[in-house]
């Protein structure tokens, strides 16, 4: 018996002079009082009642999933896919069975349990529109008697936004001959021993098949040889499919279309005030959500540090524009400087903020964790850690009277 054309695993063909969609056309006009009755009607249409230990007695459904029977017959749907096949969920068979299930769900919603009906949307825009429309109509009808009008019109439906598939199967070859298989073995066989084992098994079976074919050219095969020939031929095909299936399972050749948007929120506990990269990107932030938010607290602390820093006039201008969401190119155009100069000023700003953070952290550390030695500057009058003063061997304590900052200003 000949195989059916898979059509890249979508299968729009006929089996038993019927297409998959013909079954849905036969069922879509059915009207039943309960969902259980609707299930029985759908079973009758599909022919899936258990008869003589067979779930499907209809020829279409009996053969559409058949995978390499003893006569070498293949059905319309492949369950062991290779990298060039569409997923089963995208096939015409899956779509038809899904539509049949929808008929049952509609019956459930309309007659048995109107409060637990779900509508699934694959488009975010359609999903939002459905919710907005339902809320608008409910707002109009909520004053009607016990909301009966709403229920009768299906306004208590439950909407679900289905996750979009963000991947596709990688396509390698349209037709796989022995050269392609050898190339795949070189690529994956060295990484995965099981892949190479399947390939060696395939080559051995192919060699035996070649020997039998040589005998066939000389004489007719006897009954035992003919059985062996069919078995070897089936094993060659099976090992080839197993070889490709092993690659799929080991290497998982799935290509992602695009990264999904990050729906989470940053963990601001990881923010490091002594990491210059963290500081640089934090400068672009001006406010958070509220004062109970980790981000808002981090930005408030950063703003306090910035107020304590001393910047040149142009650095202050760059920082102000940076915190107004201006790009480096925009800042350069507004201040009439190059983008490289803007970047240099930003790095200088980051260094000043970093030094101030380091100073404040060091001060906190020696006050609270490890008691340090302090000294009062005779110029500015501030009490600072001893390492803020230069050494002077002529003085009794060994340090200058002015702090390093005051001495630099002088």
Q: Note the pLDDT tens digit of each residue in 15-30.
A: 777 888 788 788 777 7
Helix (H/G/I), strand (E/B), else coil: 123: coil
**pLDDT the model gives residue 116:** 54
Mean local confidence (pLDDT), 4-25: 73
CA distance 241 to 229: 19
Mean local confidence (pLDDT), 365-389: 78
Strands 158-161 and 118-121: parallel
Burial of 224 (0-12, 13-18, 19+ CB in 10 A): exposed
Of 162, 53, 45, give the one whose Cα is nearest residue 97.
Answer: 45
Are 221 and 231 in contact by the 8 Å Cβ rule? The answer is no
CA distance 180 to 84: 14
**pLDDT the model gives residue 89:** 77
Are 45 and 26 in contact by the 8 Å Cβ rule? The answer is yes
CA distance 141 to 138: 5
Q: Which run of H or E residues covers position 160?
A: strand 158-161
CA distance 112 to 32: 11
Mean local confidence (pLDDT), 56-70: 71
List the single range of 83-87, 347-351, 387-391 with lowest mean pLDDT: 83-87
pLDDT digits (tens, 9 = 90+) for 189-226: 888 888 888 899 889 888 888 888 888 888 888 888 88
**pLDDT the model gives residue 193:** 86
List the single range of 242-246, 280-284, 368-372 with lowest mean pLDDT: 368-372
Show the tokens assigned to 259.
Answer: 């990264």
């Amino acid at each position: 018996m000949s195989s059916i054309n898979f059509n890249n695993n979508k299968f729009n063909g006929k089996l038993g002079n019927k297409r998959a969609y013909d079954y849905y056309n036969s069922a879509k006009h059915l009207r039943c009082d309960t969902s259980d009755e609707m299930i029985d009607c759908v079973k009758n249409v599909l022919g899936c009642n258990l008869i003589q230990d067979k779930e499907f007695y209809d020829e279409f459904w009996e053969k559409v999933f058949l995978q390499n029977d003893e006569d070498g017959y293949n059905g319309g749907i492949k369950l062991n896919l290779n990298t060039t096949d569409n997923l089963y969920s995208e096939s015409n068979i899956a779509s038809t069975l899904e539509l049949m299930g929808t008929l049952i769900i509609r019956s459930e919603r309309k007659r048995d349990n109107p409060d637990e009906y779900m509508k699934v949307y694959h488009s975010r825009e359609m999903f939002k529109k459905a919710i907005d429309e339902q809320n608008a109509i409910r707002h109009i009808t909520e004053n009607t008697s016990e909301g009966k009008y709403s229920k009768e019109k299906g306004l208590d439906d439950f909407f679900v936004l289905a996750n979009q598939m963000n991947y596709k199967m990688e396509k390698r070859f349209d037709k796989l001959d022995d050269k392609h298989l050898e190339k795949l073995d070189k690529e994956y066989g060295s990484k995965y021993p099981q892949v190479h084992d399947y390939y060696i098994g395939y080559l051995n079976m192919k060699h035996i098949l070649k020997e039998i074919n040589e005998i066939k050219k000389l004489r007719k095969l006897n009954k035992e040889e003919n059985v062996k020939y069919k078995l070897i031929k089936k094993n060659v095909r099976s090992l080839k499919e197993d070889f490709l299936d092993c690659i799929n399972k080991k290497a998982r050749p799935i290509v992602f279309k695009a990264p999904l948007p990050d729906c989470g929120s940053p963990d601001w506990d990881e923010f490091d005030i002594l990491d210059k990269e963290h500081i640089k990107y934090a400068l672009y932030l001006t406010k958070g959500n509220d004062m109970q938010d980790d981000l808002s607290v981090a930005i408030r602390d950063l703003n306090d540090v910035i107020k304590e820093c001393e910047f040149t006039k142009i650095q202050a201008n760059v920082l102000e524009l940076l915190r107004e969401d201006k790009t480096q190119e925009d800042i350069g155009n507004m201040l009439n400087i190059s983008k490289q100069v803007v970047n240099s000023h930003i790095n200088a700003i980051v260094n000043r903020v970093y030094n101030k953070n380091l100073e404040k952290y060091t001060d906190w550390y020696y006050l609270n964790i490890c008691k340090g030695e302090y000294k009062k500057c005779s110029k500015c009058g501030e009490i600072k850690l001893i390492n803020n003063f230069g050494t002077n061997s002529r003085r009794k304590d060994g340090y200058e009277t002015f702090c390093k900052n005051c001495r630099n200003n002088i």
